[in-house]
Amino acid sequence: MTNTTLKLLAQQLQLSISTVSRALKDHPDIAASTKAKVHALAQSMDYEPNAYAIQLRTQNSRILGVIVPAISNLFYDSFISAVEEESRKHNYALMIMQSSNQPENELNNLKIFRQNRVSGVFACLSSHPQNLEVYHKMNEREIPIVFFDIVPKDNRFTKVRMADERCATIAAEKVIQRNGKKVLAIFGDPGLSISQKRKNAFQTFMESYAPKIHVTYANASSSLEAGELIHKQYSKTQKFDTVFCMTDEILIGVMKAIQALNIKIPNEVGVITISNGFIPNLYYPKICYVETSGYELGKLAFVQMMANIKGGKTQTELTVDAKFVEGGSL
Amino acid sequence: MTNTTLKLLAQQLQLSISTVSRALKDHPDIAASTKAKVHALAQSMDYEPNAYAIQLRTQNSRILGVIVPAISNLFYDSFISAVEEESRKHNYALMIMQSSNQPENELNNLKIFRQNRVSGVFACLSSHPQNLEVYHKMNEREIPIVFFDIVPKDNRFTKVRMADERCATIAAEKVIQRNGKKVLAIFGDPGLSISQKRKNAFQTFMESYAPKIHVTYANASSSLEAGELIHKQYSKTQKFDTVFCMTDEILIGVMKAIQALNIKIPNEVGVITISNGFIPNLYYPKICYVETSGYELGKLAFVQMMANIKGGKTQTELTVDAKFVEGGSL
DNA sequence: CAAATTATATCAAACGTTTGCGAAACTATT
DNA sequence: AATAGTTTCGCAAACGTTTGATATAATTTG
């Protein structure tokens, strides 16, 4: 069975295609009686406008592209969720692709986006350093780009991200408020700029506001490593009384080790992390965290995208602020 | 800056549009020298074929639609992840929409898919009962549909799902093997067919293979409820020694309560669940689980989709088998 | 009642491709 | 040198819309 088209409707009704087209969109030129007939037939024949023809003609796809490192990720999927909600409201459809942190995939995805003439793309850089030429070319072609989370330094782009430094600073503040004396602070892959930012912020705050507190800095790019770290550090004579985790992944490793060692939270050690909240709420007591909401970021990104699409350029970097969420772990 | 088109290339090269088109796709009619020139110019002018024009002309969108209840979900996002991987390999793009379990959203998403003339759709029914007319109509229009996870009874459709009954049976088997005597079995929303299936399978197995074992059946549609259940049941004189959780959500509630009550796993109680593995691995000891892999399901769904697109109808219901994954909790 | 206005509907071009068919321009064959 | 066969390319229609310009009929106006 072939799809219903304007032409088909027109033939059935002995009208011209343009009349049918206008009737369906309530154009004032068309008589009410005609409109009624057209609508009725369209309904009964299950007419659905061909998006491709429309897009070809109008040069407006109403499709937005999203590139994330991975869909299967607590942070990014809440980002996507938010963007999808907004898109629906604004009558845009979404095309989602994952880069798996491979620049090669990222490029390929962008190509698909361009070939589909997306109206804009939300991009999260894959972690490895790369050149931004593609993005510049897309800018030249006037395809709006909103970078999120992992954003380039280049300030010719529109960017939204979490207030990474603030997160770490807030966490440090809380640690001090709760009387942490010997802190183990675990950060992620030191190659990532986000790790550097958070570590610097944490360190800066600690050094200036609480110079007498003893802080051990460590890296762990996986839960496994984070767990081992706890095991190792906890057997030392100089034990920590507080542990700060930079990410959910680290927290997971830490918590496993803490459960294995049967350490009591918060009596024996306090725990604080940066997270969107899902993982911290899996434990008893709930882990205290500084919230970084992918959802909020998504909403913000969408606003920026709309501004970009409508009003031309908005080359700014916006951050969504962090806030502390109380738990029972500190 | 306007996009490069075949016409533009043709003008520059003093060739016809059709020649340029054929040159770019290595058509044997075109001289090698011409091809070289065309390719060179296309390259330097960043020519990207317009997907809409192609799709309009060829009537083949190479886009697949996916409807999930929620993207932000451990199970579905691994499903999506798998489908996306395969799609990329087969040169399809993905359009992902979430229904939020609202039939209304589901219908709206389907409309968008139809208007975009998707080559096929992966659909997971929103939980509330609804009529399948839309899907039948799409079938008539020869849009392949592969239902996954929550599938309709109607066997005119292609379906893939987890072996729900098997999961529960395997879990029951293991509980008996590990000498559970007093089992607390917690199932999800009793309105959902998946809950019924799993409960029936569990119950049937228990009654026939281990009639002397005492099983308490309970429902909990949220982690919270599950947690309360544990608190209530554990204060009784007749305590349980094993708890079976039907889903991750239930497990989360259960584990929180267990941690709060400071119950030792597996010494005081054994725990087993049905899961894709992420949550069970968050704890120490790791929770034993019967694996339901969204990833595997995605792979299977894609195979079915390809079969459907190429070879016409494949009206079968396939299931991906469950397997037990060892942990330290039983 | 002729002229001007309004209401309604049609024409035709354009968006960027793909593709069957035909047209030159060569080359090879007798 | 005429014919047949190849190689290389162009013409033009079609995919399903949208939209400015235009045409026709109906209505109003002075």
The mean per-residue pLDDT over the stretch B241-263 comes to: 94
Interface test with B, best of A95, A101, A116, A278 (most B CBs within 10 A): A116
Give the rounded percent of residues in chain B with a pLDDT score beyond 90.
67
| Cβ-nearest to A117 among B51, B116, B142 | B51
Q: Is the CB of B36 under 7 A from strand D?
A: no
SS3 of residue A197 by DSSP: helix
- Computed over every residue of chain B, the mean pLDDT equals 91
Q: Which of A114, A141, A284 sits opposite B260 (nearest CB)?
A: A284
The answer to whether residues A61 and A273 touch, using CB atoms and an 8 Å cutoff, is: no
Q: Are strands B182-187 and B242-245 parallel, antiparallel or unpaired?
A: parallel
In terms of pLDDT, which residue wins out, B314 or B87? B87
CB-based burial, A262-298: b 16+ in 10 Å, e otherwise: ebebbeebbbbbbbbbebbbbbbbbbbbbbbbbbbbb
Check whether B2 has a pLDDT greater than 80: no
Of B1, B52, B282, nearest to A140 by CB-CB distance is B1
For residue A328, the distance in angstroms to the closest alpha carbon of chain B comes to: 11
pLDDT at A101: 82
Q: Given this model, what pLDDT does residue B74 score? A: 80
Give per-residue pLDDT as tens, A233-288.
988 777 899 999 999 999 999 999 999 999 999 999 999 999 989 999 999 999 99
Least-confidence region, from A79-83, A281-285, B67-71: B67-71
Question: Distance between CA B315 and CA A136 in Å, rounded?
Answer: 48
Residues B175, B242 contacting (CB under 8 angstroms): yes
| Rounded distance in angstroms from the CA atom of residue A40 to the C1' atom of nucleotide D26 | 26
Any idea what DSSP says for residue A14? Answer: T
Q: B201-235, pLDDT tens digit by residue?
A: 999 999 999 888 999 999 998 899 999 999 999 88
Q: What angle do CA A121, A159, A276 make, to 5 degrees?
A: 95
Q: CB contacts < 8 Å between A and B, how many? A: 127
Structural contact between residues B188 and B194, judged by C-beta atoms closer than 8 angstroms: yes
B28 CA, D5 C1': Å apart? 17
Ranking A151-165, B33-47, B128-142 by mean pLDDT, the lowest is B128-142
Judged by average pLDDT, the poorest of A55-69, B89-103, B158-172, B238-252 is B89-103
pLDDT at A128: 65
Name residue A163's amino acid.
A
Structure tokens at A208: 């200036």
Chain B nearest C-alpha distance from A307 (Å)? 20
pLDDT at site A312: 65
Mind listing the domains of chain B with CATH numbers? 6-49 (no CATH), 62-161+295-321 (3.40.50.2300), 164-291 (3.40.50.2300)
The helix, strand and coil proportions of chain B, stated in percent and rounded to the nearest 5, come to 45, 20, 35
Q: Which secondary-structure segment (H or E) carries A301?
A: helix A294-311
Mean pLDDT of B133-153: 89
Q: Please enumerate in sequence order all residues whose Cβ is within 8 A of that of A294, keeping only pairs 6 or more positions apart, or say none.
A: A74, A75, A76, A77, A78, A79, A81, A82, A276
Chain A residues whose beta carbon lies within 8 Å of the beta carbon of residue B56: 50, 52-53, 56
Say if B36 is an interface residue toward chain A (CB within 8 Å): no
Task: Quote the percentage of chain B above a pLDDT of 70.
Answer: 98
**Average of pLDDT values for A176-191?**
91
- Predicted confidence at residue B1, as pLDDT, reads 55
pLDDT at B19 over 70: yes
Mean pLDDT confidence for A37-62: 93
Closest alpha carbon within chain B to A295: B72
The mean pLDDT value of chain A amounts to 91
pLDDT of residue B252: 96
Size (chain B), residues: 330
Per DSSP, A45 falls in state T
Residues A62 and B253: their CA atoms lie apart, in Å, by: 42
Residue of B nearest to A253 (CA): B282
Identify which has the larger pLDDT, A145 or A153: A145
From CA B129, how far away is CA B110, in angstroms rounded?
Answer: 17
Mean pLDDT, rounded, for A72-100? 88
CB-strand contact B107/D, under 7 Å: no
Contact B67, B124 (CB under 8 A): yes
The residues in A 75-134 lying below 8 A from B, measured between CB atoms, are: 77-78, 80-81, 84, 88, 93-98, 105, 108, 111-112, 114-117
The strands making up A63-68's β-sheet, listed across from edge to edge, are A317-320, A158-162, A145-148, A120-123, A63-68, A93-98, B93-98, B63-68, B120-123, B145-148, B158-162, B317-320
